[in-house]
């Protein structure tokens, strides 16, 4: 029941290809740590925070290990990510492989 504040210049968030983190979190550069950060956070209207919390509730099941019968769980999100990466790998113009299964770059 909170809005995550991410203070990082470079971070890869879990399931970032499934979740629109701009709808459920605030991400700022690490250089903003200080009074300006607190002022900015305090200036966000309560209605905006409530909407972000509500959106977060819709995807929080992705961080819960639940039975396979559940439509939303961490395991399902991991599988979605793996399937996306497999599709991306096979469709990459930079990915080549030889008859023995070796992966090679464009220069062979």
Residue 100 lies in a domain: no
Residues 6+ apart with CB under 8 A from 106: 94, 96
- To the question of pTM greater than 0.85 for the whole model, the response is no
pLDDT for the residue 47: 94
Higher pLDDT, 63 or 103: 63
**Domain interval for residue 47:** 5-84
Residue 99 lies in a domain: no
Query: From CA 81, how far away is CA 101, in angstroms rounded?
Result: 23
Does residue 36 fall inside a structural domain? yes
Residue 57: inside a domain, yes or no?
Answer: yes
In this predicted model, what pLDDT tens digit does every residue of 56-77 receive, in sequence order?
998 888 877 777 777 778 887 8
Q: For residue 78, is it within any domain?
A: yes
pLDDT of the residue at 106:
59
**Is residue 21 in some structural domain?**
yes
What is the count of structural domains for the chain?
1
Q: What is the pLDDT of residues 3-59, one digit of tens each?
A: 999 888 788 888 887 788 899 999 988 888 888 889 989 999 999 999 999 999 988
């Amino acid at each position: 029941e909170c809005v995550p504040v991410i203070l990082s210049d470079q971070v890869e968030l879990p399931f970032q290809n499934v979740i629109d983190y701009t709808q459920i979190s605030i991400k700022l550069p690490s250089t903003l740590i200080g009074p300006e950060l607190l002022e900015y956070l305090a200036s966000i209207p309560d209605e905006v925070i409530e909407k972000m919390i509500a959106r977060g509730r819709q995807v929080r099941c992705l961080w819960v290990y639940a039975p396979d019968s559940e439509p939303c769980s961490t395991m399902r999100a991991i599988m979605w990510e793996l399937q996306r990466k497999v599709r991306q790998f096979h469709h990459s113009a930079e990915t080549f492989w030889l008859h023995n299964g070796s992966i090679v770059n464009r220069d062979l």
